Amino acid sequence: MADPYIKSLHIIFIVTWFAGLFYIVRLFVYQTEALAKAEPERTILAKQLNLMANRLWYIITWPSAVITLILGGTMIAQFPEMLKLPFMHIKLTFVFLLYVYHFYCHRIYKQLQNGIAKYSSTQLRIINEGATLILISVVFIIVLKNQFDWIKGTLGFILVTVALMIAIKIYKRIREKKNS
């Protein structure tokens, strides 16, 4: 069995990694909206938001991603039988997707740090839900383990995705009415 201290630290760094991923994309939304503002507001906001994003990304999010990977790898090394469990392959696939998402966010981060906004704030709100969907999936896989029902799991994933997209559209309408 994996060392409980390693497992505890792994969970802590997963939480801080997700916190960073959730908040960085929120900062991307603010950065994108700031770039659309008139001067001097644009420069003032961009400078502050770039600083905040930089600190979050390099002090919390990246270290948490690296430490999570190291601790997860350590647990697998301590208990390689984990890899024989079918649900672990599904979980590790989602973990891989989370790292893909992380690198995608890094690309957006670099663009915004250079004052380039390739996505609208609405698109970034949708991108922000990527980490949410992965988190929900991994938690259910880990809790349910081999009891996981593929049909219910797939339907649940689709329903959560649709609910998130509807919530984003409703929020956009509320913001548009408020700004009118």
Q: Is 102 annotated as contributing to ligand binding?
A: no
Residue 10 assigned as binding residue: yes
Residues 6 or more apart whose CB falls under 8 angstroms from that of 78 comprise 1, 2, 3, 6
CA pair distance 141, 162, nearest whole angstrom: 20
Sign of torsion over alpha carbons 112, 114, 120, 123: negative
Cβ-contact 78, 3 below 8 angstroms: yes
3-state helix, strand, coil in the chain (%, to 5): 90, 0, 10
Pick the closest to residue 109 from 23, 24, 16, 17 (CA basis): 24
Binding residue numbers for heme: 10, 91
Binding residue numbers: 10, 91
